[in-house]
Amino acid sequence: MKFQSYLVAASLFMGAAGAQATQVGVHDPVMAKDGNTYYVFSTGPGITFYSSKDMKNWRPEGRVFDKDPVWAKKAAPSFDGHIWAPDIVQRDGKFYLYYSVSGFGKNTSGMGVTVNKTLDPRSPDYKWEDQGMVIQSVPGRDLWNAIDPAVIADEQGNGWMSFGSFWTGLKLFKLNADWTKPAEPQEWYTIARRERPAFEPDESAAPAEIEAPFIFRKNGYYYLFASWGLCCKKEQSTYHVVVGRSKAITGPYLDKDGKDMAKGGGSLVIKGNRDWVGLGHNSAYTFDGRDVLVLHAYETGDDYRQKLKVLDMKWDGAGWPVVDAAQLNSYQSVLLPAGK
């Protein structure tokens, strides 16, 4: 679930105190590269984003949406301007930014997409053009939650969207040729879930703590990352990252023990420690031959404020992703002053 702690506008630019440089405060970070510049997009008012030349020093670039998406209030009547959990992909010379709107604790949710030729806000070609809603979830009709989109192209170049939070887990469907709606005829897959009590009321998210899918293709496999546990609860946060893999994009995604993620499987990638708790909602990329895992983590020593983490992702002898938890401390983002 995306709890009320997502009201993070006041803390986006807050970081470690004292002599330490201010770090970048984000939830649910995703990254793309345009030219020689990296961009991180995150949950926040209108979708907050930052630019960097080195993935360490980040300059705030404002927000993607100056006004709320026109469809947002219809899909989520309690929508308050905070847009959740974006994903950014490049396709045919354009950038597609997927995003979600929702009501707190409800599956009154929808996911949309907006398109731009460039991510550089100083370019004359910079203009986001919203394509509207991709899908929505409706309480009483759906036992899934239309948030946390993540989009990937398969080997044939077809687009697929994974998404989901709590309820009956993480879903996957094929996108149409424009990557703006489900392909017809629609065929949906459950790719990961956790146990939901049999008689849990439909309107309840239930204790099936899973969300934030991200599929990454590497070495002949599709790797499905997911976040288990609770985010956004300061010292009580239990967020952590698990993974499974499949030869087919539709699954089944099996963990290291061969257990299907759709039946509760998932192998640990990284979890919190004394200094950093509640880490997750990751994305994964290859930039210039370097594989990285991008996520947020709460810093114990800074009142559990959310911080950006970019970790090197290695691969063990069996082809499973490995990250070094020591990088949670060694990677320190730096928030630069806003400016041209």
Q: Which residues are annotated as a binding site for substrate?
A: 28, 105, 145-148, 165-167
Q: 220: left (phi > 0), else alpha (psi -120 to 50), else beta?
A: left
Catalogue the E-assigned strands of 185-333.
188-192, 210-218, 221-228, 240-246, 267-270, 276-287, 290-299, 305-312, 314-315, 321-322
Closest CA to 274 of 299, 291, 309: 299
Binding residues: 28, 105, 145-148, 165-167
Whether 178 is a known active-site residue: answer: no
Name the burial class of residue 185, with classes exposed (0-12), middle (13-18) and buried (19+) by CB atoms within 10 angstroms of its CB: exposed
Residue 270's SS3 state is strand
Say which of 61, 87, 209, 211 is annotated catalytic: 211
Q: How many CA atoms lie within 13 A of 158 on its CB side?
A: 13
Strand partners, 137: 109
What token pair was written down for 257? 């023990």
Closest CA to 205 of 4, 35, 28, 1: 1
Question: Are the C-beta atoms of residues 249 and 160 closer than 8 Å to each other?
Answer: yes
Question: Are the C-beta atoms of residues 295 and 277 closer than 8 Å to each other?
Answer: no
How far apart CA 47 and CA 340 sit, in angstroms, is: 20
Closest CA to 160 of 213, 105, 83, 235: 213
Whether 125 is a known active-site residue: answer: no
Q: Tell me the CA distances in angstroms from 251 to 123, 138, 246, 320, one per residue in order.
A: 40, 26, 5, 16
Say which of 28, 87, 209, 260 is annotated catalytic: 28
Determine how β-strand 44-45 pairs with β-strand 82-91.
antiparallel
**Which residues have a catalytic role annotated?**
28, 211
